[in-house]
Structure formats: C-alpha cells, structure tokens
Amino acid sequence: MTDPSWKYENFEPAGSAIGYRIVRKLDEVQSPFQKIEIYESTDWGNLMLIDGAMMLTTRDNFLYHEMMSHPALFTHPDPKQVVIIGGGDCGTLREVLKHPGVARAVQCDIDEQVTRMAEKHFPELCESNGDPRAELLFDDGIAYMAACAPGSLDIVIVDSTDPVGPAEGLFNKAFYESCFRALRDDGILVQQSESPLVLLDLILEMRGEMRKAGFNAFQTLPFPQPCYPTGWWSCTLARKSGGFGFREQDAADKSFETRYYSAGVHGAARVLPPFVAERLER
Amino acid sequence: MTDPSWKYENFEPAGSAIGYRIVRKLDEVQSPFQKIEIYESTDWGNLMLIDGAMMLTTRDNFLYHEMMSHPALFTHPDPKQVVIIGGGDCGTLREVLKHPGVARAVQCDIDEQVTRMAEKHFPELCESNGDPRAELLFDDGIAYMAACAPGSLDIVIVDSTDPVGPAEGLFNKAFYESCFRALRDDGILVQQSESPLVLLDLILEMRGEMRKAGFNAFQTLPFPQPCYPTGWWSCTLARKSGGFGFREQDAADKSFETRYYSAGVHGAARVLPPFVAERLER
C-alpha cells in the first residue's frame, strides 16, 4: 500500500478547490461520454470522479440524494410517476423508492458505466435497483423527455453533472419544454442548481430558461454538500403554477429513515439568507 | 504578474482539503505565536492563513462573523457587556457593535499581528475599531477571563483558531470555569465549534467540558462556511440554565444590515438534521 496522497478538484468557475486524502485508485473507465474514476479515501469512503470532477463520496452523498428527492416528493400531493434524468449512481432512485406511494420510477442516464461503477463501488446506493417499480434506462435524457406522453408524470428530477459536456443540454428552454409537457398540471421539476454562494447567476439563468418553457413558480433549497465546490449546494424546484407548501405532517410521519432530511429541515431550507433571497426574488 | 496558482489547506483530522486560486502572496509575518500569511485570490478577495490554515476570505467571512455574533446577541435579553476572546481580525467585533444596546465590547487576542494584518488587508472588518465602545487588547485570553470580575459580562464569544497551538487552552474546563464565573446568570458563552459533519465528537467533547464548568444548556447552530473544512461549520452557545428562545421580533426589526443572518435564518439554524441531532441530544 502506498502512502496516502491528496486528490484535488480545481473548480475553475469559482476559483476554489475541494480535495480528499486518498489511499489508492480503485477503478477507471473511459466510457463513450466521459472518464469515470473511483478512489478509496482515508475518511470519506469511496469517491467517484467524472472528468476530474467530484461526483460523490460514500460518506456525504446522503445530503445530496435526500435533498434532490424528498422535498419534491413531499411537496407534490401524491407523487406516483417519477422520472430521474441522469442519476446513474442510483442514489436518488433509492430515495424516491422509499416513498410507498410511488408506482414507477424511471432512471434515464446516458452513461451505463456510471451505474456499473456504482454497483461495484457504491452498492448501498443500488440496493433498490431490483425494486419492481424501478426501471433503469441507459439512453439520452433529452430524447427520453421529448418522447414522454404529455401529462404523464408527477415529478421529473434532473440529477446531472454541471452544465458542461454531456449535461449541457439539460439546462435550457428546449429540454424544460419537454419536462413541462410531460408533467401533469401539479407536477414538479427538480434540478440540482449548483452553489448559491458563487453561482447565483447560474440559478437565475436556469430559472429564466424554465420560465420561458412555461414554469411559473420556483423554489431554491440550499443544503451542505462537502464534495461539491464551496461545500454549499442547492436544488431548484419548478411548478407550472401554485406554491411550495409541503405535506409537513406526512414528512414528519414518514415510514422511512433519513439522515439529513426531516420535516423540520425541509421547512428550514425554505428560509433563504438575505443575500440569496435578494438576488433570486428581485 | 505570475500566472494564477492554487493554494490548498489539507485538513488532516477530516482527510479533506480546501483550496483557492491565488494571484500572489501579499504579506507574511512570523509573530511570537504563529505564521500569518496573506494572499490575493482570483475570486475570493484576500485570504488570511495562520500556520497554513485558512482563517478568512474577503468574500465569505460574513457568514462566520454574523453567525458568531447575532444569534447570541438576539438570544440574550439585553446584552451590554461583551467580550471576544481571539477574533483578532475584528470582524466579530464589528458585528457585535452593530447592536446599539451594547455598551462595551472588549476584543482580547493574544496576537497583535493578526489585527495589524487585518487593518492592512481586510480594512472593512476593522471599520468599527475606533468605536468608543470598543476596546482592543493584545493579551492572553485565558488570563483575561480568569481575571474578569464575577458576574460582569453578558456575552463571551470565543472566536479562536482550532483547538491546537495557541488556542488549545480555550477548549477546556478551566477556561470555561472562568467564563462561567465572569458571566451573569443570564449570560451566554459562544464558541466556534468546527464542522458538524466530521467533528461531532469535538462538539460533544466541548459540551462535556462546558458542562463540567457549570453550563447546563447548549445550542449548536450550523452554517455554511466555504473556507473551513467541509464548507459546513457551527457555533455552540452555552448558558447556565434556561433555553434558547430568541428575540425574534427584535431580530426582524433590527436597525442594521446583514447578509446571511436574519430572524428567519436564526430560526432555521435551530433545526438540526437528524444525524446531528441524534448525536448531540442522546
């Protein structure tokens, strides 16, 4: 065994970096879309990097996966049909399937290798892949959403990499129009929306594109996520109309365990600090 | 001008690192206590490092300074006498002095060079140093607290570096006993309490020492802080008895501006995620 060394991700758009002390490289594959690397770290379990960007660690992925799923599912009155675009590590799928009312959850990631790597190195995230309600597709999410039957979905979760490379087309009006059409009137679109500290412009731009596609109500929820730049991340929810009151009692009485999400945390995440609120709400 | 390069802090206890893209080193001084370095960064303004550890950046220090001060000052019924132990960059002092009811705020940092460096490279943090209510001492905080008149203080804020080196003595029963004695019955002790994600053991240990010194009620408030390990940080409040209800209306009606703190954010920070609450409250 070699001595531990450090693996950094320099995040150029924000001029900041995140790093982990690693023991060794466990795996690497160059898929048709991107390079996926797996490292063993000294304190964070395994790490997955895609094209050099930290995607997840064993230790802290619960923050992201819980916040990408439960706020939306407890905001919708009765979510049954869920589609996840991206999300190849299967962690969001696992959280979605914890909701007993969900009848079907489709995960559509363009890169099968992400899921194969997750099965090997993050098996706990894949433990619901055999659920009869789960359907794993390895296909183009843009084409999948464009082909969805109108008004057939309750929730669309866009669990993608940053808006460069394969995921670029998941952050524009054309894609959001497909989501809008596929969602029922009370449906919810959720997307990871980067760091509210340094990338507020991106959140505003994303909301602008969603608005052009017909969405009229937005909610951005911040949460801690150490493996992403600045350690502070967010998801943004969009609806065709209406607000974001959530089923607080159902969330408090939920039949499954979560480590970060709770009814209280959901309510608390709705309170944006002044410097974020001023930019998003002006 | 040289090309930008990257400056990392490897945080050994958590096996994680934080880094910034820097333009150049602006200053460096070896004080009798520690090495202080100042860098200019491309996106975060100036950085201060002490013995290689990131202390603050121009861009994100408001998160820490606001959360180290306002929650305690809006929890106390009428804070007049405040002491800050450490805090040599003067950012916490500036926030404390925003409260018109504060009659006197003493900042006692062992290292005068921290303040001299802040005056040069973070002048905005020092803009209240000339306030007639401010008193800047450069002395041993442990000795200062031990010599304080009993029952003379409303708030003690321990704004120190990590519990190694010069700050080690600020995390134990003996020091907390001095704080306990110096505080009035309704007084509040506040201390930065590291990352709730990776250093829960340290928070528990700190609470244990505070309890041995006589404190009976505790509150840990998490907040984002990109320049500290994991990007998620916390402060811990301790009282002799009673709870942590706060002057919510006063906070909502406050006469000064804040960028992160608000009455809503204060309330939201009180909601701990399950994985933190389970450890701290068991």
User: Do B244 and B120 fall into the same domain?
Assistant: yes
Q: Nearest CA of chain B to the CA of A262: how many Å? A: 7
Which helix (DSSP H) or strand (DSSP E) does residue A239 occupy?
A: strand A232-239
Average per-residue pLDDT for chain A: 95
| B19 domain-assigned | yes
- Domains in chain A, number: 2
Q: Taking CB atoms and an 8 Å limit, are B16 and A264 in contact across chains?
A: no
What's the ipTM? 0.94
The pLDDT score that the predictor gives to residue B181 is 98
**What pLDDT, on a 0 to 100 scale, did the predictor assign at position A3?**
60
Residue of A nearest to B278 (CA): A259
* Nearest C-alpha in A relative to B199: A43
CA torsion sign, B248 to B249 to B253 to B255? negative
Position A51 scores a pLDDT of 93
Cβ–Cβ under 8 Å, residues A271 and A244? no
pLDDT band at A200 (very low <50, low <70, confident <90, very high): confident
Q: Are residues B44 and B68 part of one domain?
A: no
Quickly state the pLDDT bin for A240 (edges 50, 70, 90): very high
CATH code at A43?
2.30.140.10
Cα end-to-end distance, chain B, whole Å: 55
Write out pLDDT tens, residues A113-157.
Answer: 999 999 999 999 999 999 999 999 999 999 999 999 999 999 999
Mean pLDDT, rounded, for A80-96: 98
In a domain, A107, yes or no: yes
Residues A14 and A143 in one domain: no
What DSSP designation does B2 have? P
* Domain range for B70: 61-280
- Is B218 a member of any domain? yes
Contact residues on chain A for B259, CB-CB shorter than 8 A: 273-275
Would you state the pLDDT for residue B282?
Answer: 63
Angle at B231 between CA B228 and CA B236, to 5 degrees: 75
| Residue B1: predicted pLDDT | 44
CA distances from B30 to A221, B9, B56, B86, B162 (A): 43, 18, 18, 17, 18
Q: What is the pLDDT of residue A255?
A: 96
* A64: pLDDT strictly greater than 50: yes
Instruction: Flag whether B1 is in a domain.
Output: no
List, as residue ranges, the binding site of B for spermidine: 65, 89, 159-162
Please judge whether B19 and A42 are an interchain contact, meaning their C-beta atoms are less than 8 angstroms apart: no
% of chain A at pLDDT higher than 90: 89
On whether both A178 and A48 belong to a single domain, the answer is: no
Q: Write down which residue in A57, A74, A99 finishes a domain.
A: A57
Decide if A159 is catalytic: yes
What is the nearest CA distance from A177 to chain B, expressed in angstroms?
A: 34
Q: Which of B60, B111, B154, B159 is catalytic?
A: B159
Residues of A in contact with B43 (CB under 8 A): 14-16, 198
Query: Is B16 close to A60, i.e. CB distance below 8 A?
Result: no
Residues from chain B that touch A42, judged by Cβ atoms under 8 A, are: 15
Please name the residue of chain B whose CA is at the shortest distance from the CA of residue A43.
B15
Binned at pLDDT 50, 70 and 90, residue A199 comes out as confident
- The shortest CB-CB distance from A15 to any of B43, B267, B268 is to B43
Name the residue facing A15 among B44, B197, B257 (closest C-beta). B44
Residue segments in chain B with a per-residue pLDDT below the cut of 50: 1-2
Write the residue in A19, A226, A257 that is nearest to B197 by C-beta: A226
Residues of B in contact with A268 (CB under 8 A): 267-269, 271
How far apart (Å, rounded) are the C-alpha atoms in residues B95 and B107? Answer: 12
CA-based nearest residue in chain A for residue B229 = A226
User: The pTM is what?
Assistant: 0.96
Are the Cβ atoms of B271 and A264 closer than 8 angstroms? Answer: yes
Helices (H), chain B: 61-75, 91-96, 112-121, 141-147, 173-182, 200-212, 248-252, 263-269, 274-281
Give which of B233, B239, B207, B231 is closest to B221, Cα–Cα.
Answer: B233
Whether A67 has a pLDDT exceeding 70, the answer reads yes
- Residue A157 falls in which region: left (phi positive, over 0), alpha (psi -120 to 50) or beta: beta
The verdict on a CB contact (< 8 Å) between B17 and A16 is no
User: A86 and A53 share a domain?
Assistant: no
Residues A48 and A68 in one domain: no
Give the DSSP H or E segment for A268: helix A263-269
User: What CATH number did the domain enclosing B174 receive?
Assistant: 3.40.50.150
Contact between A271 and B267 using a beta-carbon 8 Å cutoff? yes
- Polymer length of chain A: 282
The three-class DSSP label of residue B117 is helix
Q: Is B205 part of a structural domain of the chain? A: yes
